[in-house]
Structures are given as C-alpha cells and as structure tokens.
C-alpha cells in the first residue's frame, strides 16, 4: 500500500484506531526497550526490571530505573508523530488512540481520552495496599544517568510505592483493554506505530482489527514479518504521520491561512 492509498482510506474512514508503542516516543528522546539503554542501565534487561519479583527483590534498583525513565519523560517534548495523531483526531469522524506507552506525550500533544494499556509512569501507588502516591513532577534530586533510589513509603501502611505501570506478568487494566479491543473490532483503519508487536495481549489488537475487516497498516523504520493482508509503511513515525496528514487533509497550516 502506498501512503496515498492510505490517505484516501483515512479520508473515507468513519472510525480510525491509532495504536502506538515505544517507537512513537523514540524521536522525543525516550529510549525504546529494543534500543540499547544508556549509562548504567545498558547492563540491565528491561524485561527483568519490569516485574513484581524484580521490584520486591531490589526495590531501590527498580525504583531508580523508573525514576530515570520518568525524568526523561518529564524533560521530553511531544514530537511530530504525537502532534499529527492529535490533528488526525480533529479531521476524522472518530479516532481512538490506544497506547502501550507509559509516558504522557500524547496528552501533551493535545490528544484526549488516550487509552493507556500499560498504565503510566505518573500514577505511582503503594505495592501493598494500592493507595495512590503523589510524585513531584520534576525534582532536582532525580538521577541524570541512572542510580539506585530508595522508593518512598506509603503513608497508610508503610509499604513501598511502585510505579503505576503494568509489569510483565500482570493483567492489563480491564477498562483500557476492553475499550481498546472494542475499538479495534469496529474501526475501518487501524494504524500501528512504532511497536515491535511482541508484548501480549496488546499485540493482539492489530490481529483483531484485521479479523473484523479493517485495513491494518504498520509504521516502523525496521521491517518485520506481517501477514499478506496487512500493510507496511517503512520509515520514522514523525515523517510518515506528518506526510499522511498532509496527503489526506492538506497542510494544516495552509488550511488555516485560507480560513483567515
């Protein structure tokens, strides 16, 4: 499929699902799990840090890793891909944005009602009783390049505070998963951006969309195997999404000039 065929389908679509993974935030400087992590963290496997066992075994190591990631997000800005997705939502009758990302860059680009399948770095809670914990948005104490940090403790029960993300081996938030699934099964066009498609059950969504007759397109700079009924646009999320927006709906800046 060419980008102009997809642009045409986007113009005609009644319901579009955009499904994002870590690659959508890569151009904002947030490392993906498949990129080599920098500094101290390059010696660790994310799949081994992002589990409940890892946290209980070494809370300061895990909390330090999450604080390092949160600090990167706090200092990052949304990129053209985040912004183009927010623009698309204004131009199609219905757009559902489902993300595996635990950052808030979609929201900061103007997207509303983002479905976070894997929770958020910004909503920590007690590992024992679940009480929410408020973290300062920024802190000079945050590590520049990764270090062990003792997690805060819950004011209700004294348990450790854990990040509000979904760890490997945990269930997805039920509401998020059922809304994501319902959207995948109803949409005409499903665009999957910057995900390696190996983390389940999230990776099921494109297949569900395909099974219900949607056009499914993967956007990624690195090619991977897909079925013959799916489509692939190879390139960076920012370039391809901005290009698609312009091809489907014209240059937003030019349109605004005409309106004036």
Sign of the alpha-carbon torsion through 74, 77, 83, 84: negative
Exposed, middle or buried by CB within 10 Å (0-12, 13-18, 19+), for 146? buried
User: Taking CB under 5 A as the rule, does residue 132 contact Zn ion?
Assistant: no
- Judged by CB under 5 A, the stretch of 41-49, 127-135, 220-228, 237-245 that binds Zn ion is 127-135
| Binds 79: which of ligand NAD, Zn ion, none (CB < 5-8 Å by kind) | none
109 φ, ψ to 5°? Answer: -85, -5
For the segment 107-136, give every residue that binds ligand NAD (CB under 6 A).
118
DSSP state of 171: P
Judged by DSSP in three states, 232 sits in strand
Q: How far is the CB of 200 from ligand NAD (least distance, A)?
A: 10
Instruction: Beginning with the edge strand found earlier in the chain, give each strand of the sheet holding 95-99 in spatial order.
Output: 115-116, 95-99, 16-20, 189-193, 215-220, 231-234
User: Taking CB under 5 A as the rule, does residue 161 contact Zn ion?
Assistant: no
Rounded CA separation 145/130 (Å): 29
Binding mask 81-100 for ligand NAD (x = CB under 6 A): -------------------x
Binding mask 19-38 for ligand NAD (x = CB under 6 A): --xxx-xxx--x-xxx----
| Binds 129: which of Zn ion, ligand NAD, none (CB < 5-8 Å by kind) | Zn ion
Cβ proximity to Zn ion: between 2 and 131 the closer is 131
Q: Which of 118, 212, 218, 231 is catalytic?
A: 118
Structure-token pair, residue 102: 């635990």
Which positions are annotated as active-site residues? 118
Q: Which residues bind ligand NAD (CB under 6 A)?
A: 21-23, 25-27, 30, 32-34, 100-103, 118, 193-196, 199, 219-222, 236-237
């Amino acid at each position: 499929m060419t980008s102009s065929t997809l642009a045409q389908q986007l113009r005609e679509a009644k319901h579009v699902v955009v499904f994002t993974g870590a690659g959508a935030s890569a151009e904002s400087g947030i490392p993906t799990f498949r990129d080599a992590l920098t500094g101290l963290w390059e010696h660790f496997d994310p799949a081994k840090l992002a589990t409940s066992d890892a946290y209980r075994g070494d809370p300061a190591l895990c909390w330090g890793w999450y604080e390092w990631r949160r600090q990167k997000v706090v200092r990052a800005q949304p990129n053209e891909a985040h912004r183009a997705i927010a623009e698309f939502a204004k131009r199609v009758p219905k757009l559902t944005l489902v993300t595996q990302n635990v950052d808030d860059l979609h929201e900061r680009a103007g997207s509303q009602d983002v479905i976070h399948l894997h929770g958020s770095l910004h909503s920590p809670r007690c590992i024992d009783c679940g009480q929410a914990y408020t973290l300062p948005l920024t802190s000079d104490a945050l590590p520049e390049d990764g270090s062990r940090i003792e997690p805060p403790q819950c004011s209700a029960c004294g348990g450790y505070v854990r990040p509000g993300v979904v760890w490997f081996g945990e269930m997805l938030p039920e509401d998020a998963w059922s809304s994501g699934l319902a959207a995948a099964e109803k949409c005409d066009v499903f665009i999957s951006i910057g995900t390696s498609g190996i983390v389940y059950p999230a990776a099921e969504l494109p297949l569900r969309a395909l099974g219900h007759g949607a056009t499914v397109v993967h956007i990624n700079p690195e090619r991977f195997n897909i079925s013959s009924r799916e489509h692939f646009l190879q390139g960076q999320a920012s370039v391809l999404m901005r290009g698609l927006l312009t091809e489907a709906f014209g240059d937003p800046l030019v349109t605004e000039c005409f309106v004036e």
